[in-house]
Amino acid sequence: MGRFNLKKRYSSDTNRMLCANFSILQISRKAANQFEARSKSTMLAKKADRKLSRQMTLPCSFQHNSIHSLSEHGTNTSNQRGSTTRLLSSEDRIVETPRSHERDFNNSTDSMLDLDSILMDRVDGIEIALERAKHWSTYCKELVNYIRTRTQLEQEHWRRISSLADSSNQSLPKRFSPLVEIFEQSFQSDMDHCARAKQTLEYIRDRVIEVLECRRKEHDTKRTNLKNDWNKILKNYQETQDAHSKAVTSFKQREDGLSKARDLRDYNVTMEASKRRKEFDRRTRAIEEAVNRKDDAERNLHILRIELHRKAEETKYHKAKVIKELRELSLQCEQTTKACTNHYFNWLSELYAPLPDSYSSLAYEARSFQPGDLLIFKTNNL
């Protein structure tokens, strides 16, 4: 009987396990069917997106890029100069993102604003900005001195080269002289290059040296004016602050005087009744005068406290303004330095660029010369 019950219980447990496994299998098959259905719907949606993307007209900056490529790669088209686009959803929405140079400009602007904030938070922010502006002025002075001196040396060098080429061209024997045509070409090339160098050095003098000097003079004038204006504002604030400190001290003294007068009134002195009455009246009048002086000091302190707050706000406003103007002034100077540097090296490159080709052609002609041909020609013409 016990065996039969154990067998029955074992068979019932086995049936329950089989039912559970069958349920799990059904659930897994159902999940697989749902996943397959979702995959099919996703594929159909992608096909619909491709079909719609062929029918859509993209902006002119995306004529060579398809929406499907954007949806697959999800990256910006770096070969186009226009604003990049990204496919956001299957509803064919295209959103333009900022251009690269606009992002750089925004980042640069944010950096400048962060720099202003740092200088505003520092007590010596104005001094740092003024020192930075003065540093550029010193740098520009030395740079102009170098360019001017080098230009003068270049001008003197090419003047001597031109004079040497002219005198050598006149004194050099030309009849039956080997390679004389090559040296004549070299003399002419030197004189042409000297004329070109003179014109280039005049450009450098007019468009680099004078521009940098004008910018430096304007920079120094504005920097000095900003410094003087800031010193005046700071001096006014310090004077107001000193007056406020004196008013606080005066108010405390008046309070102490009033307290002493009241203590003195309460102090009893043994004297006659008539004298006691007079002394009481005198001490009462002293208290009234002390109260009046305290009230005057309090009113004066209140006025100076309001004035100090106003001066503090005004000083803060002018500090931000001066820092911004000094930053803009420094940026203008850097832009001028960039433009002048570009012109300077560009003109030097154009000045010396023809020389290697000219000398190479002269060397090639010299290599083609055959020694003895001129001697044979001279002997035959005797």
Query: Higher model confidence: residue 376 or residue 297?
Result: 297
Contact 212, 340 (CB under 8 A): yes
pLDDT band for position 115 (50/70/90)? confident
Return the minimum-mean-pLDDT range out of 17-26, 102-111, 153-162.
17-26
Residues 98 and 86: their CA atoms lie apart, in Å, by 12
| Structure confidence at residue 83 as a pLDDT band (50, 70, 90) | very low
Say whether pLDDT at 14 is over 60. no
State yes or no: pLDDT of 126 exceeds 60: yes
Please count the CA atoms within 13 angstroms of the CA of 131 that sit on its side-chain side. 6
Residue 56 has pLDDT above 70, yes or no: no
Alpha helices per DSSP H over 81-209: 100-121, 125-171, 180-204
Q: Taking residues 212-229, what's their average pLDDT? A: 94
d(CA 172, CA 7): 131
d(CA 335, CA 104): 16
The pLDDT tens digits for 306-345 are 999 999 999 999 999 999 999 999 999 999 999 999 999 9
Task: Print the SS3 string covering 104-135.
Answer: HHHHHHHHHHHHHHHHHHCCCHHHHHHHHHHH
pLDDT band per the 50, 70, 90 thresholds, residue 59? very low
Q: For residue 27, what pLDDT is reported?
A: 53
Question: What's the pLDDT score for residue 290?
Answer: 83
| Pairing between β-strand 85-87 and β-strand 94-96 as defined by DSSP bridges | antiparallel
Give the span between the Cα atoms of 203 and 351, in whole angstroms: 11
236-259 confidence digits (pLDDT tens): 999 999 999 999 998 888 888 888
Cα separations in angstroms, 58 against 61, 75, 85, 162, 225? 8, 16, 10, 62, 54
What pLDDT does 268 receive? 56
Mean pLDDT over each residue of the chain, to the nearest integer: 74
Share of the chain above pLDDT 90, in %: 32
Structural domains in the chain, CATH included, are 117-365 (1.20.1270.60)
What pLDDT shows up at residue 109?
A: 60
pLDDT greater than 50 at residue 91: no
Q: Which residue has the tokens 């390679």?
A: 179
64-68, 98-102, 188-192: which is most confident:
188-192
If you write DSSP's letter for every residue of 31-64 in order, what string do you get? Answer: HHHHHHHHHHHHHHHHHHHHHHHHHS---GGGTT
Give yes or no for residue 22 having a pLDDT over 80: no
Mean pLDDT of 190-199: 89
How many residues appear in the chain?
A: 382
Between 28 and 198, the higher pLDDT residue = 198
Q: What per-residue confidence (pLDDT) applies to 260? A: 80
- Backbone phi, psi, residue 63, to 5°: -70, -25
